[in-house]
Amino acid sequence: MTKVYLIRHCQPVADESNGDAARPLTEKGYADVPKVTEYFMQRQIDAVYCSPYRRSIETISEYCQKSGHDLNIVQDFREVRLGKDYQGEFVEMIKRRWNDFNYNLSDGESYAAVQKRCIEALIPLLEKHEGGTIAVSMHSTAMSTMINYYKPDFVWENYFEVLMHTPYIALLTIDDGKLVDIQYHHFD
């Protein structure tokens, strides 16, 4: 059995003027980083992987420094690309996407595509660390689509719960490609 901690990053700033990937954490986000560090310092982790986005890196970097782990960037653990022609209410738009994983805007990415790239990135890590424990710092959509892959009854309401918490942790125990157990943790 392999354990995978999926970590939704700490709270980021809303301003995307420098691009979504460059968004740093807010004051609250930086204040939550030590909570994430302490949480993982109390656990045996074999390797740490991370989205290339700044907020995910900032969430787990302190733990890596204190534990001596390398921070391994995996491009495919990045956040969903929503698309430039998105208009309207954000929650309604993402709910529509969740309820139709193939829904996509012209220059965006469907949730099915996010799930596919994330799972394809995770499977070799499961094989590499079989019987061990890894941590992956990432994003709500990437994380939630991965959980849905292993637990199809992880529905809109569950995804919305993840969206309401920064940071948020899901511990997946996977054996022979199947989910054996899942546990959730948030710091609110």
Residue 100 has pLDDT above 80, yes or no: yes
Query: How do the residues of the chain divide into helix, strand and coil, expressed in percent and rounded to 5?
Result: 45, 20, 35
**How many Cβ atoms sit within 10 Å of the Cβ of residue 81?**
15
The ranges assigned to domains in the chain are 2-186
Lowest mean pLDDT among 10-19, 51-60, 122-131: 10-19
153-156 own/partner pairs: CB under 8 Å, 24+ apart = 155/98, 156/95, 156/98, 156/99
Lowest mean pLDDT among 15-24, 160-169, 170-179: 15-24
Give the pTM. 0.95
Q: Residue 98 in contact with residue 115, Cβ under 8 Å?
A: no
| Predicted local distance difference test score (pLDDT) of residue 86 | 65
Decide which of 3.40.50.11900, 3.30.2290.10, 3.40.50.720, 3.40.50.1240 is the CATH code for 2-186.
3.40.50.1240
The whole-chain average pLDDT of the chain stands at 94
CA distance 85 to 61: 34
Lowest mean pLDDT among 23-27, 47-51, 83-87: 83-87
